[in-house]
Amino acid sequence: MREKLHISTQEYFDLPYCSNSGLKEAARFFKEGDMSPIESSGFAFGSVFDALMTDITELDSSELSNSERISIINMRSAIIGNPIYSALFTGKDTETQVVWVDKELDVMIDGMPMQIPAKCKYDLWNNRLDFGADLKSTVAKTERSFK
């Protein structure tokens, strides 16, 4: 059964549950035998973008160039100006950084049913619709490099 938590980003990372990223890492290991670390060049960029959109108190752009800072501000402006964003994620029924946990999430892995303790952090949440969004950003310059 899922449970909604109001906790900080650090508290989320400290939860001993599996996230979507953790599942992807496990799949990379078990299916491909790949234990190499994930490329992290875009983590600082994504973290600053996330903080600007959800929790300004976590904003630290010290690792970014001025052009990256400008890009993030332009990205935020584009999202804020989007009518779909406005309809879904502004107003009294919305929140930012909502965490859901399910200590016994039913999953199917390679045809085998199992339960895992899972966590999920939504950047944007609409309580009335019981619907959320996870913002994604990229430092990719072309569609090809994004794939």
Q: What is the pLDDT of residues 18-42, one digit of tens each?
A: 988 787 777 777 777 766 666 655 6
For the whole prediction, is pTM greater than 0.85? no
Taking Cα atoms as reference points, which of 103, 108, 137 lies closest to residue 120?
Answer: 103
Contact partners, residue 89, CB within 8 Å, separation at least 6:
124, 125, 126, 133
Q: How far apart (Å, rounded) are the C-alpha atoms in residues 140 and 19?
A: 24
Q: How far apart (Å, rounded) are the C-alpha atoms in residues 53 and 5?
A: 19
pLDDT of 84 higher than 90: yes
